[in-house]
Structure 1
Amino acid sequence: MSGIYAGARPSRSEDLLARFPVVLALFDGAGGRMLLHRPGLPVEEAPPVPVVYQYLKALAHSAVAVHEIALRDDADSAAPAGFADTVEQGLTTLPDLSLDPQAAGAATAVLAAVRAFLSTPRTPGSATTEELEDFGRSCSPHVVTLMEKAAAVQVTHWMSVLDQWHILLGPSGFDSVHAAVNTLYVTRRKNILFTVLAQYLGEQAIGDRLLLFETPEFTTTPEQMLDLMTRVVADRDLGRAFFGHGQVMDVEILGDAAVHAIRTRMRQRGKTPVLPTLAPYDSHQWPWPTDPSSGSAPADLYTATALHQPRPPAD
């Protein structure tokens, strides 16, 4: 099965790209990438997020480095001195970024706080919890300001791109867009690219045409994303044929059988199983579909199969 299945995917990808516009949104440290595949046309990659986003984000994150440096007990490490030099350079060159006054003020405050902490004599690794918390409190309002500025740049950019693609595809074309976003665990629930795309594709696309793929890495490739989207869409044909609903195959197919086994074994042990509530397969909740009333389809493999009875024999 695996060999046959893998061999069929290239033609499935070609079929997907021939039928639908596909948007791939990939995380990276520069604010993300978005690529648009249109049937019969070369792939189009959107311009990158303006570089000021990276500066704002780096300035905000500089305070995080202090926390890590303060906990190190490696007296021979050159990291503190090297980072102190970087902070001094940042303070000197900050005017070159031409930030607005609020962002410039927040950046100056964060870098000054970092410099003050690093210049305080202390034994490596001896910073107390109270010192670190006081430092965090002094930085946090300014870090929040910098992150707000960075997010505004990022969101404005991607919404402008999607405005243009909406015009390019037209309403009917955009209504058939299939989109996928990759996410690491920490960015799953508040994924920026996914949330921006949801504003354009709508709630009804979530879990149907708008997919969130969790990975163990911050970055992945467009080819891997497209391959995974192809697998999901192709498996929906299998789900409809075998179980009566396409999205049965969107989740671990053995999951419902395993839940049944867990319930049975926990009952034998006189214990209450720890299990989530089940949402219907057509639920558009995200990031976790758990509301039983959020759709009209079956919520588990057993219900779907019971409804998907063989057709009566022809007369």
Structure 2
Amino acid sequence: MTTRRGFLGGAGAVGAATLLGAVPSTANAAEPAAADTASLQLQARNAMRAVNSGMRSNYAVLKSDLIKQLNPVIVVQNDAKGGRFTLVHNGTQVSENPVSEMFELAKSIAHVPLGVFSVIAPYLSDQVPNLPNAARIDPHDLDMVAFKSPTSLDWIAPLTKFSTTLTTARVQLSYANLPAALATSCGAIIDAANKFINDSIRLRSFDMKSFEDFSGSVYPHIRTNMTHAANAQIAGVLDVMKRWRTKVGEEAWKDLYTVVLSQWTTSELNQNSIIIKPCMNPAKVNTHLIDLATVEPPADPIFVALDNLARIVQDNIAAEMVFPVDQKVADALKGKEDLLSDEILKQIGGTATTASTASLATGAAAGGDACPFHQKTAQA
């Protein structure tokens, strides 16, 4: 496209060349037009990008203002103490850890096998041994975890240090005033762990089988600890929910939002979410109880929870107003789906209802799978 400025510039150049007796170059005359075309394209595309920037700016302003309106909200930060609960209500915040110490103490000792594993794992052989659960172990995962030489003895020092920690806890266990069954299980777990550690150090060797013999032997005691931890958590969470329900009032409680922050590994069937769910309005709990997976505990968990909740709440309304003629797309905006997911699934041979490995494999067999990896493996 030649603009008025481009045309005048080109005409001026031709006129000047004619007056000076030179023959104008066709190639040179075309250059300004080509440059203008590229410039206009860039300007046009930047103008299109500015639309999205403007949308995001407006969206952020609405979200920021909406955060201040959210009410009532309970934010749950999963932690080693059973969870820190914060009630946001009428412009105020109150926080507490409602779960008794039995939760933390029971889980602390139940984690002993995991603590030992974390020291020895890098020094394991990267070959899956002949174990009853061998078929459940991914060889590549094992290869990634066992990244140090199995002949190294660098594990002895940290394992000895952990054993010292275990021994200190064992010596003082009787003074912790635990229920008898819990005290017995904690002692058994620590004793078995120290035996595994001492045997490994004495032999200067361990393997996956010797560790699984240890961890398998203490599993019944771990279950005992899990029972005590669960009892403590249920009692504590139900108590705080009951007290805060009275404080908020039945009418406001019907619209309660709850955001549970957790790491990805505990974001489904999260223990706090399970206990909280029956305490909320059954008609709204599926949309108002939100499990929010985080990579690591955020520096400002309350803001993270409210920021995400504001996005969810405004998207719930935006979905119905922006897509009033397509409920399926509206549901995608209101939920966890990306708006393009259905279209992408169609183009690579899947559907929204069969978005799984099995469906993609079926699509590959039918020749509709666009994934280069699937095509390559199918050809192989």
Residue from 26, 34, 52 that aligns with 2:102: 52
- How far apart are 1:122 and its partner, in Å? 4.4
User: For the Cα contact (< 8 Å) 1:25–1:181, is it kept in 2?
Assistant: yes
SS of corresponding position for 2:258: strand
In the alignment, residue 255 of structure 1 is paired with which amino acid?
A: S
Q: Which moved more, 1:191-200 or 1:102-111?
A: 191-200
**TM-score, with normalisation over the residues of structure 1?**
0.77
For structure 2, which runs of at least 5 residues remain unmatched after alignment?
1-54, 124-149, 352-359, 370-380
What is the CA deviation profile of residues 195-245 of structure 1, one whole-angstrom value per residue up to 9, with x for unaligned ones?
A: 111111154334311112222225561101100000110111210111235
**TM-score, with normalisation over the residues of structure 2?**
0.65
Matched, 1:29 2:80: yes
**Match in the other structure for 2:62:** 8
Residues 118 and 217 from structure 1, CA distance in 2 versus in 1: closer, same or farther, beyond 3 angstroms?
same
Matches within 5 A, 1:49-198: 49-71=99-121, 72=123, 73=150, 74-77=152-155, 78-120=157-199, 121-124=201-204, 126-198=205-277
User: For the Cα contact (< 8 Å) 1:26–1:33, is it kept in 2?
Assistant: yes
1:76, 1:269 → 2: CA distance?
A: 49
Residues 147 and 37 from structure 1, CA distance in 2 versus in 1: closer, same or farther, beyond 3 angstroms?
same
Residues 36 and 85 from structure 1, CA distance in 2 versus in 1: closer, same or farther, beyond 3 angstroms?
same
SS of corresponding position for 1:204: coil
In the alignment, residue 75 of structure 1 is paired with which amino acid?
A: L
1:13, 1:140 → 2: CA distance?
A: 45
What is the CA deviation profile of residues 165-222 of structure 1, one whole-angstrom value per residue up to 9, with x for unaligned ones?
A: 1222222221110111123222122201111111111543343111122222255611
User: For the Cα contact (< 8 Å) 1:109–1:139, is it kept in 2?
Assistant: yes
Residue from 342, 349, 354 that aligns with 1:263: 349
Q: What is the percent sequence identity of the aligned residues?
A: 22
For structure 1, which runs of at least 5 residues remain unmatched after alignment?
274-315
In the alignment, residue 73 of structure 2 is paired with which amino acid?
A: V
Greater percentage in helix: 2
Residues 269 and 91 from structure 1, CA distance in 2 versus in 1: closer, same or farther, beyond 3 angstroms?
closer
- How far apart are 1:260 and its partner, in Å? 2.1
State the number of aligned residues.
Answer: 269
1:151, 1:268 → 2: CA distance?
A: 45
Matched, 1:226 2:306: yes
In the alignment, residue 29 of structure 1 is paired with which amino acid?
A: A
2:278, 2:257 → 1: CA distance?
A: 14
2:241, 2:76 → 1: CA distance?
A: 11
Matches within 5 A, 1:212-223: 212-218=291-297, 221-223=301-303
1:233, 1:112 → 2: CA distance?
A: 51
CA RMSD in angstroms, aligned pairs only = 2.5
Please identify the structure whose Cα radius of gyration is greater. Answer: 2
1:60, 1:31 → 2: CA distance?
A: 14
2:268, 2:290 → 1: CA distance?
A: 13
